[in-house]
Amino acid sequence: MGEQIPAVKLRNVTKTFGSITANSKVSLEIYRGEILSLLGENGSGKTTLMNMLSGIYFPDEGEIFIHGKEVVIRSPKDAFDLGIGMIHQHFKLVDVLTAAENIVLGLKGKLDLKAASEKIRAICDAYGFEVDPNQKVYDMSVSQKQTVEIVKVLYRGADILILDEPTAVLTPQETDKLFAVLRNMKADGKSIIIITHKLQEVLDISDRVAVLRKGEYIGDMATGQADAQKLTDMMVGRSVALNIQRPDAVDPKPRIEVKGLTVHSADGILKLDNVSFTANSGEILGVAGISGCGQKELLEAIAGLQPVDGGSIRFVSDDGTREELVGKDPLSIADMGVTLSFVPEDRLGMGLVGNMDLAGNMMLRSFRSGHSPFADRKGPHKLAEEVVEELEVVTPSIETPVRRLSGGNVQKVLVGREIASSPTVLLTAYAVRGLDINSSYTIYDLINRQKAAGVAVIYVGEDLDVLLELCDRILVLCGGKVSGIVSGRDADKREVGLMMTKLGGSADE
Amino acid sequence: MNNKTHTPLFHISKRGALPWYAAWAIRGGALILALLLCALVTTLVTGQNPIDVYITIFKGSFGSSRRAWVLFQNIAILLCVSLAVTPAFKMRFWNIGGEGQMLAGGLATAACMILLGGKLPGWLLIVIMVAASILAGAVWGGIPAVFKARWNTNETLFTLMMNYIATQLVAFFIIVWEVPKGAGQIGIINQSSEAGWLPVIGGQKYLLNITVAAVVCVAMHIYLSYTKHGYEISVVGESENTARYVGIKVERVIVRTMLLSGAVCGIAGMLLVAGTEHTLTTTITSGRGFTAVMVSWLAKFNPFMMIFTSFLIVFMERGAGQIATDYGLSQSFADILTGIILFCIIGSEFFITYQINFRHGAAKED
Amino acid sequence: MFDFVSFIPRAIVQGIPLLLGSTGETLTEKSGNLNLGIPGIMYVGAISGVIGAFFYEQSAVEMNGFLAVSIPLLCSLLGSGLMGLLYCFLTVTLRANQNVTGLALTTFGVGFGNFFGGSLIKLAGSEVPAIVLSATSSYFCASLPFAGKLGWFGSIFLSYGFLAYLAVVISLAAAYFLRHTRAGLHLRAVGESPATADAAGINVVRYKYGATVIGSMIAGLGGLYYIMDYTSGIWSSDAFGDRGWLAIALVIFTIWRPDVGVAASFLFGGLYILHMYIPSGMNLAIKEIYKMLPYVVTIAVLIISSMRNKRENQPPAGLGLPYFREER
């Protein structure tokens, strides 16, 4: 490819959101007839970078060149006009319309669905897609919807395609099919960028791989020279000492026993596949894995919020009696005398009510107590004051709706409430996501104190450095399966990184 | 596409906190604007100067003690229905079937009065009437709720249709019970025996209704703000996801709340039939079920604010009615003025929720 | 024997206002606006036409057929269009609650109609509490001259004024528009998922305004038809009744399809007057039960379609929800 003009060239692109730098001076090139993998952990700035190419964000600094000409991309339409099409993780399709109708949506001219269908068929034949133009989107599987999105982009004449984690929602067979199509498009001279964090796929499909870490461009290499080990090193970097305290486990005894847990999502996708493990009291069990590997379903299944298709979740009391949690809702779990606290990922949409004040949110757990028809408001009010004082929550008053607080303070309110009920089991999902350093350490400290009090903590996290320093043991999930449980004290970051990225059992060991 | 789309003159964004007094100042401003507009329209139609117009409106409402009592009685009924639909709205369940639920309650009341009047002691009859109207209203409100909870059937359209079924049901029974045969109306029920008429307290015919509305108002405030049920309603209304997370059974809350909403509407229907009109017609509710939606919404679902908003609506209605009578205009004049007030206040909410940021120096040509 | 030859034309003339109202409301709802102001808008459409006709009849020395039809028609379109514009300004531009705005619009519209109707009655100095516009009405009612000679065929198919045929044409055109044109496709996308439509470069605000204002105009014609044709030009207060709500019921009954509305409106019209044709002897009460039928079948359709949960038969997914791009 040597002297060729790159189809896309980014030079020193920087984007910040408030105080957070999402991309810092990133430079990148992609050529015609090439598949480039953009690799990086969650939060490394891959999607932000590509959103600037597709016109969703506007860069703060830096230049973009398309086929050698400097361009300004201010809207998705500008991007389309330049032949850039992006397939987002969340499909933008109208469910009750057919594939063809969705594909021509927003275009100008007379509506001729027959001609459109023919053109769609021609595109499908050229690249090996399977799309029925007259099928309604709500009848489609996730992979079919994705196909429609890709065809939509091609229909508009895009020759630069960006796919944001296209395989996250696909089965291995569907992934193979997608890759076959991508190879056909490459042969046709299209430029393709795949955002991913799955190493196996990078090695399978791409010609070249570029790695981002914490918003910075780390480097690129031809896939032929890369192997899983090298890429993992680039992606996760060296271990960083964080100096998070890790007291010894306190008299660990089995508390939650999960055996053969299997869960399908509402649209029928296998989310947890025969998961078994034991969480001990007085210990922090970390859960590592790339996002969407079943972490959410695992926690919600234990909390009684997720219908389970198979397996068992048993709560072990101090006297050794075991009680089944599967099939029980949160209320009946509480009625069994199991105090189970849950800090969910979606803080304002699930854990808290954004429009209620701090005291009102404290009530969520306690409002049922007592036999009077009236809810106790004094207790929660006092609890809110205590939480504000102890956790140093910055808020104008107890009466402020929580949605007005900053992310870190919202999380302090949520965690403060959840540990106030002195739980025996504490589930946390991405407890420090979006938090500044100080707030993060406050949360680590709170979790450690729970551990010291003999609570069984399950900590779902995304930052491997944190998991390795905080947790006693780490359960690694990959594609809904357990790929191993390692000791937090001895495990090596690269080892865990590899376990996270190996493709659902098909393995590169 | 030209550059204009990228540098709009102004940009609309959601406001952060607006202190309550600023919010009410905006609403107050809208109300003053509305009253000025109303005066202007009235002046155009009647040729009167605006001050006289307001004197007339005031006279229409408070001109005599009888007028004042009628005013307060009308406020009482409207307030009662507005309070009834409020728990449903707080749950984001659009109950616009207050009309039908009132009629169901009124029908049950009339049925008790006609069928049981004279056969039971007076106090027992009234107890049965109260129970029957509550039950009828609750059933009428509960049916759409069950379907909403179970199959997510659109409640706005369902409750709307239930209004007309109730109307026809009332029309049916009016003919069944008509006095005399062929009159097409029931006339005053139990005129001689006054069986089932709500007792007159304090020597004032309407005082009982007003008292009941006041009690309902306080009770509804306590229910919504201090009870466990009220708290569950707020959580379900804000986020069903959060409600499930803390183990609230969303479906049960929906049905329970609508049973309550319908029941209170039923009581309002009973007050109308047994307390005020002593008869039953298909138009006895005179659109209060719909007006209540607006009263409740304008008051931001606050029971005590509803006293003010229902006063405002009834005051303008009675006042405009007086103008119509004085100048020989159609009584519908009141609806026009009510409409103008509603539009102004509805529009003003925008300026409370959002702010308009003008882009400085954005006026450059391209 | 049931007298179909007299029943069907009466059912149809009852159905035409409902058809226009529901076609207008369907277009509106397809843009995601649940306009509960339709009953008020139909009143305004009717009274605006009446006002136009009244002053034309008063001022014209000799009535010109073209003007006699087009003046009320334009006045009606203007009046109901302005109501639609007001609804959009409040709900789309100012993002007010659709239910509250719609109900306020109905209060206002019905009051507006009855108020100006009442004032005109005064102006006319009429003996009866009604305005009689027979001259204008005769132009609206004019049917084909040979219709009367064709027996039952003539009376069932050819005995109506031009607005009735226009109503059917509008409904079929609306159905074609929604299903087969690009603007129709875009409109459906706006009502289903405004965020998706916005991302595809469709101007959501423009479509909402356009559909609602045009929908209101069509619904307003329903009011005009009722006065000029059905009642032969006689306006009296509250005569239009609750037909506006029945038109909203019809939208649900036809599962948001204007072409189905043609047959369904005649069915509703038939149900509305069925009680006059059912031999009920002395039992007049049972007639009131028959009048309940349109609402009962509408609820049945609403329930069944939500139970079957077939996606095409559901209300537009964005119905009743305001759209604000930055709130995604």
Partners for C (CB, 8 Å, 3+ pairs)? A, B
Residue A356: list chain B partners with CB under 8 A. Answer: 234-235, 238
Distance (Å, whole) CA A58 – CA B1: 17
Eight-class DSSP state of C91: I
A110, two tokens: 């007379």
**Residue C328 located in a structural domain:** no
Residue C196: list chain A partners with CB under 8 A. Answer: 92-94, 105
Please determine, for residue B365, whether its predicted confidence score (pLDDT) is greater than 60.
Answer: no
Judge: B336–C34 Cβ closer than 8 Å, yes or no.
no
Partners for A (CB, 8 Å, 3+ pairs)? B, C
Report helix, strand or coil for C250: helix
Q: Which of A327-341, B3-17, C252-266 has the lowest mean pLDDT?
A: B3-17
Q: Which of B206-220, B234-248, C207-221, C281-295 has the lowest mean pLDDT?
A: C281-295
State the residue for tokens 């309604």: A136
Judge: C104–B96 Cβ closer than 8 Å, yes or no.
no
Q: How far is CA B179 from the centre of its chain?
A: 31
β-pair partners for A38: A195, A210
* Secondary structure (H, E, C), A146-176: HHHHHHHHHHCCCCEEEEECCCCCCCHHHHH
The interface residues of chain A toward chain B in range 163-222, judged by CB-CB distance below 8 A, are none
Q: How many interchain CB pairs under 8 A, B with C? A: 162
Find the mean pLDDT for residues A398-413.
86
Residue C186: list chain A partners with CB under 8 A. Answer: 105-106
Which pLDDT does position A504 carry in this prediction? 39
Among the partner-chain residues B165, B172, B334, the one whose CB lies closest to the CB of C111 is B334
| Cβ proximity of A64 and A73 under 8 Å | yes
**Residue C222 located in a structural domain:** yes
Please determine, for residue B131, whether its predicted confidence score (pLDDT) is greater than 60.
Answer: yes
Judge: C95–B340 Cβ closer than 8 Å, yes or no.
no
Judge: B235–A364 Cβ closer than 8 Å, yes or no.
yes
A374, two tokens: 């009236």
**Residue C273 located in a structural domain:** yes
Give the domain CATH number at B253: 1.10.3470
Show the domain range for C12.
4-321
Count other Cβ atoms within 10 Å, centred on residue A70: 10
Q: Which of A399-403, B120-124, B165-169, C283-287 has the lowest mean pLDDT?
A: C283-287
A425, two tokens: 């089991």
**Residue C327 located in a structural domain:** no
Which pLDDT does position C201 carry in this prediction? 83
- To which H or E segment does residue A14 belong? strand A8-17
Distance (Å, whole) CA C228 – CA B331: 24
Which pLDDT does position A239 carry in this prediction? 67
Report helix, strand or coil for B115: helix
In chain A, the residue whose alpha carbon lies closest to the alpha carbon of B6 is: A74
Find the mean pLDDT for residues A304-324.
90
* Confidence band, pLDDT 50/70/90 cuts, at residue C119: confident
Show the domain range for B164.
53-351
Interface contact A100, partner C, CB < 8 A: no
Interface contact A355, partner B, CB < 8 A: yes
Which pLDDT does position B78 carry in this prediction? 95
Residue A156: list chain C partners with CB under 8 A. Answer: none
Please determine, for residue C242, whether its predicted confidence score (pLDDT) is greater than 90.
Answer: no
Interface contact A344, partner B, CB < 8 A: yes
Which pLDDT does position B63 carry in this prediction? 85
To the nearest whole Å, the CA of B153 is away from the closest chain C CA by 5
**Residue C201 located in a structural domain:** yes
In chain B, the residue whose alpha carbon lies closest to the alpha carbon of A404 is: B16
Which pLDDT does position B226 carry in this prediction? 92
Interface contact A109, partner C, CB < 8 A: yes
Q: What is the pLDDT of residues B239-280, one digit of tens each?
A: 999 999 999 999 999 999 999 999 999 999 999 999 988 999
Count of domains observed in chain C: 1
Interface contact C328, partner A, CB < 8 A: no
Residue B347: list chain C partners with CB under 8 A. Answer: 89-90, 94, 96
* Secondary structure (H, E, C), C185-234: HHHHHHHHCHHHHHHCCCCHHHHHHHHHHHHHHHHHHHHHHHHHHHCCCE
Interface contact A377, partner B, CB < 8 A: yes
Interface contact C134, partner B, CB < 8 A: no
Query: What is the complex's ipTM, to 2 decimals?
Result: 0.86
Among the partner-chain residues B16, B226, B242, the one whose CB lies closest to the CB of A350 is B242
Give the domain CATH number at C303: 1.10.3470
Among the partner-chain residues B5, B16, B246, the one whose CB lies closest to the CB of A404 is B16
In chain C, the residue whose alpha carbon lies closest to the alpha carbon of A88 is: C199
Judge: A111–C180 Cβ closer than 8 Å, yes or no.
yes
To the nearest whole Å, the CA of A152 is away from the closest chain C CA by 11
Q: How far is CA A380 from the centre of its chain?
A: 33
Residue A106: list chain C partners with CB under 8 A. Answer: 186, 197, 200-202
In chain B, the residue whose alpha carbon lies closest to the alpha carbon of C302 is: B153
Which pLDDT does position B363 carry in this prediction? 39
Residue C305: list chain A partners with CB under 8 A. Answer: none
Interface contact C248, partner B, CB < 8 A: yes
* Confidence band, pLDDT 50/70/90 cuts, at residue C326: low
Beta strands in A232-309 (DSSP E): 254-264, 270-280, 283-288
Find the mean pLDDT for residues B35-40.
88
Interface test with A, best of C178, C180, C182 (most A CBs within 10 A): C182
Judge: B161–C111 Cβ closer than 8 Å, yes or no.
no
Residue B301: list chain A partners with CB under 8 A. Answer: none
Interface contact C182, partner A, CB < 8 A: yes
Interface test with B, best of C35, C85, C99 (most B CBs within 10 A): C99
| Cβ proximity of A31 and A6 under 8 Å | yes
* Confidence band, pLDDT 50/70/90 cuts, at residue B215: very high
* Confidence band, pLDDT 50/70/90 cuts, at residue A506: very low
Please determine, for residue B311, whether its predicted confidence score (pLDDT) is greater than 50.
Answer: yes
Q: What's the length of chain C?
A: 328
Residue C195: list chain A partners with CB under 8 A. Answer: 92
Which pLDDT does position B168 carry in this prediction? 92
β-pair partners for A288: A476
Query: B273 φ, ψ to 5°?
Result: -75, -50
Distance (Å, whole) CA A284 – CA A254: 12
Please determine, for residue A19, whether its predicted confidence score (pLDDT) is greater than 70.
Answer: no
Which pLDDT does position C155 carry in this prediction? 74
Pairing between β-strand A254-264 and β-strand A216-222 as defined by DSSP bridges: unpaired
Distance (Å, whole) CA C45 – CA A182: 58
Among the partner-chain residues B229, B232, B245, the one whose CB lies closest to the CB of A351 is B245
Residue B241: list chain A partners with CB under 8 A. Answer: 346, 349-350
Find the mean pLDDT for residues A398-423.
88
Which pLDDT does position B39 carry in this prediction? 86
In chain C, the residue whose alpha carbon lies closest to the alpha carbon of B165 is: C292
**Residue B160 located in a structural domain:** yes
Judge: B226–A375 Cβ closer than 8 Å, yes or no.
yes
**Residue B362 located in a structural domain:** no
Contacts 24+ apart (CB under 8 A), C1-6: C2/C277, C3/C277, C5/C152, C5/C155, C5/C156, C6/C155
To the nearest whole Å, the CA of C218 is away from the closest chain A CA by 24
Which pLDDT does position A97 carry in this prediction? 92
Describe the strand order of the beta sheet including A425-429 as a list of residue ranges. Answer: A340-343, A425-429, A456-460, A283-288, A473-478, A481-487
Judge: B157–C122 Cβ closer than 8 Å, yes or no.
no
Interface contact A336, partner B, CB < 8 A: no
Residue A341: list chain B partners with CB under 8 A. Answer: none
Residue B230: list chain A partners with CB under 8 A. Answer: 375
Q: Which of A26-30, B28-32, B262-266, B329-333 has the lowest mean pLDDT?
A: B329-333
Which pLDDT does position C325 carry in this prediction? 67
To the nearest whole Å, the CA of B169 is away from the closest chain A CA by 37
**Residue C326 located in a structural domain:** no
Judge: C202–A106 Cβ closer than 8 Å, yes or no.
yes
Judge: C192–A96 Cβ closer than 8 Å, yes or no.
yes
Burial of A400 (0-12, 13-18, 19+ CB in 10 A): middle
Mean pLDDT of chain B: 87
Judge: C104–B94 Cβ closer than 8 Å, yes or no.
no
**Residue B314 located in a structural domain:** yes
| Cβ proximity of C222 and C17 under 8 Å | yes
Partners for B (CB, 8 Å, 3+ pairs)? A, C
Count of domains observed in chain B: 1
Q: Which of A241-245, A301-305, A342-346 has the lowest mean pLDDT?
A: A241-245
Which amino acid would we find at residue A296?
K
* Confidence band, pLDDT 50/70/90 cuts, at residue B142: very high
Domains and CATH numbers, chain A: 8-236 (3.40.50.300), 240-339+423-509 (3.40.50.300), 355-421 (no CATH)
State the residue for tokens 């779990």: A333
Please determine, for residue C277, whether its predicted confidence score (pLDDT) is greater than 90.
Answer: no
Find the mean pLDDT for residues C82-104.
93
To the nearest whole Å, the CA of B154 is away from the closest chain A CA by 18
